[in-house]
Structure 1
């Protein structure tokens, strides 16, 4: 990736072979010679966050590694970043679609598919936040935009910004199949309560599961929860 320093790691996920991930070296990686970040209104501090591995993403990957692969089940990862969970599901044979709004996310996904000797996986541009809805340098073709409905929608650490308009819950509602499930791994962000109210108002039922664990050996401590929602059934 020109202009960026990267690193390559083998990520252990129980139930699958190690996943090789190329990520940004650190949070200081920022290169914007064409003004893409400026055009999208993304600060230099926020720009590299998509390209790092985050503890909640590892939690989501561990959960999808245990999820039975079911014929006909379509799974969408929202705000995928480096798409660790999508790569795990794809390796296991699940019908995965990774989605993000960052213009570099798809390139990193293609490289990580190559590093893991995996076949093509669907990627779609998906957006719900406050930045421009299309990548810089032009509009996204309709065929590359997120569309359709999914039996399972997953995401990790998505509640980092206030969302008074309920754009995330609205996006989920548009893409959740009737009776489908939603999994959000959240590291106890302060916006969780507002998001929960928005999901309930959209007709979803919900529950949560604590994911806290103490540090042990090479395993880091984690504090957070899995939010599970079920979409309303078809009328």
Structure 2
């Protein structure tokens, strides 16, 4: 059983009540890391998630949105409360369980599922109008699988928004993305130091 505490926050003008892990270090085990290099990144409320949520709050209702590597899923919660049709995916079963409970507690209607960006995307029922991610470029090994799976997830003319605080692999990701996507960025009212990169797929 996870040891959770309640946290209240305001994001994009919305009040959210979240249950989050009390002690992040307690989630880290040498056994899990040795097995599949598991680090409980999902349990942290990252500044990139807050910046992404700010941008998503202004997206029109009805948008079919997918958040990959969702972690605590604050962007997904905000998007769902704004009327978007949201699917949130993370490879950690604990992240999925916590987000489902937090969605119910906040009256957010969304689908939460276990999925890794190295897995078959078909169970997610793509394509989506918009695919988003917050701070997923923390390791260089993530660049290739994310870029490889995006074309299967995004509808023609759709977009990808990646919020990033300046991780070292980000320039490589953007350079490689520019060979298939139009790359720009979106202004936001969230934490300074975070850039929300915008990738647009040709129609």
- Same fold by TM (over 0.5)? yes
Q: SS of 2:5's equivalent?
A: strand
Corresponding position of 2:185: 208
**Are 1:9 and 2:1 counterparts?**
no
Written as runs of structure 1 = structure 2, the 5 A alignment for 1:178-189 is 178-189=156-167
Bigger fraction of residues in strand: 2
- When the two chains are superposed, the root-mean-square deviation of aligned CA atoms in Å is 2.6
Tell me how far apart the structure 1 counterparts of residues 142 and 42 of structure 2 sit (CA, whole Å): 23
Native 8 Å contact 2:136 2:142 kept in 1: no
Corresponding position of 2:77: 87
- The TM-score with structure 2 as length reference comes to 0.87
Native 8 Å contact 1:77 1:86 kept in 2: yes
Q: SS of 1:12's equivalent?
A: strand
Q: SS of 1:112's equivalent?
A: helix
Bigger fraction of residues in helix: 2
Q: Post-superposition shift, 1:190?
A: 0.9
| Superposition misfits of 4+ residues, deviation over 6 angstroms | none
Structure showing greater relative contact order (alpha-carbon pairs closer than 8 Å, 6 or more residues apart): 2
Gaps of 5+ in 2: none
Tell me how far apart the structure 2 counterparts of residues 224 and 29 of structure 1 sit (CA, whole Å): 28
Tell me how far apart the structure 1 counterparts of residues 104 and 188 of structure 2 sit (CA, whole Å): 31
Q: Please say which structure displays the higher CA radius of gyration.
A: 1
C-alpha distance 156-31 of structure 1, shift in aligned 2 (>3 A): closer
Which one of 100, 108, 117 corresponds to residue 110 of structure 1? 100
Tell me how far apart the structure 1 counterparts of residues 77 and 193 of structure 2 sit (CA, whole Å): 24
**Are 1:125 and 2:114 counterparts?**
yes
Gaps of 5+ in 1: 135-141, 214-220
**Are 1:20 and 2:17 counterparts?**
yes
- The TM-score with structure 1 as length reference comes to 0.76
Native 8 Å contact 2:54 2:188 kept in 1: no
**Are 1:41 and 2:36 counterparts?**
yes
Tell me how far apart the structure 2 counterparts of residues 116 and 164 of structure 1 sit (CA, whole Å): 31
